[in-house]
Amino acid sequence: MPRVKLFDEKEILTKAMNLFWKQGYSATSIQDLVTHLGINRASLYDTFGDKEKLFKKSFELYRSQSIDKICQFFQNQPNVKEGFSELFNNAINEALLDKDRKGCFAVNNTTELVPNNDNCLEVLSSNRRDIENLFYEYLKEGQKNGQLKQCKDLKSLASFLFIIYNGILVVTKIHTNKKELTDSVNLAMSLLV
C-alpha cells in the first residue's frame, strides 16, 4: 500500500525556498533542509529528488511568484514612470525592512552559482529575459499611451531598468541610506520621458 504524504508540497517548497534564499545553495545541507522542512530524508528524496532538484523547484516557485507580482503591480499602475518609480521604491523599502538582508533570491543565485553551474545559468537567463520582457511590454504600453517618446529604444531601456532593479536589490544589502537610494531611482526615472 502506497504511503500517504502528510505535508503540503507547495508549503514545503516555500520553506525550502526561504532557507536557500537566506543561506545560499552551497551553505544549505540536506540535514538543514530535513530539519527546517520538518520532513524526513526519504520523503524529501521521494517527493523532490536530490538537493539540486529541490533547489530548482523552489527557485521556479520564487520565479513564478515574482513574475506574477510584477505583472499584477503593473496592471494597477497606468502611468509607466510612476509605476517604475513605485516598483523601485517598494524594492528599497522591502529590502531595508528585511532584518536578514536576504536581497533578491535570483541575484543571490547568480552571484553564487554562475559561472560554475550551467543548469542554473539557463534558468537565471530565462528569468532575466522574462522580467525584461515584462518591463518592455509595460514601456511599450506607456509609449502607446503617449507617456514616452516614440524614438525611445524600449528594448535597451527595459534592459537598463532590469539592471537598475537588480542593482537596488544588491546594494540595499550593504547600503541603507534611503535618501541616496531614492535619489538614484529618481535619476534613472529621468530617462523615462
In this predicted structure, what is the pLDDT of residue 5? Answer: 60
85 C-beta neighbours (distance < 10 Å), count: 18
Looking at the domain assignment, is residue 64 inside a domain?
A: no
Q: What angle do CA 143, 71, 93 make, to 5 degrees?
A: 100
C-alpha cell at 46: 521521494
Q: What's the CATH number where 24 sits? A: 1.10.10.60
Of 88, 19, 90, 74, residue with least CA distance to 48: 19
Looking at the domain assignment, is residue 42 inside a domain?
A: yes
Q: What is the pLDDT along the chain (193 residues), one digit of tens a residue?
A: 455 566 788 999 999 999 999 999 999 999 999 999 999 899 889 989 999 899 999 999 999 999 999 999 999 999 999 999 999 999 999 999 988 888 889 888 888 887 777 777 888 889 999 999 999 999 999 999 999 988 779 999 999 999 999 999 889 888 889 999 999 999 999 988 8
Q: What's the CATH number where 86 sits? A: 1.10.357
Do 105 and 170 meet the contact criterion of CB atoms below 8 Å apart?
Answer: no
Looking at the domain assignment, is residue 123 inside a domain?
A: yes
- Could you tell me the pTM of the whole model? 0.87
Residues 177 and 110 in one domain: yes
Per the structure, the count of domains in the chain is 2
Domain hosting residue 115, numbered range: 77-189
Residues 121 and 175 in one domain: yes
Q: Report the C-alpha gap between 65 and 165 in whole angstroms.
A: 17
Looking at the domain assignment, is residue 137 inside a domain?
A: yes
In this predicted structure, what is the pLDDT of residue 149? Answer: 87
In this predicted structure, what is the pLDDT of residue 7? Answer: 75
Task: Give the H or E element holding residue 140.
Answer: helix 118-144
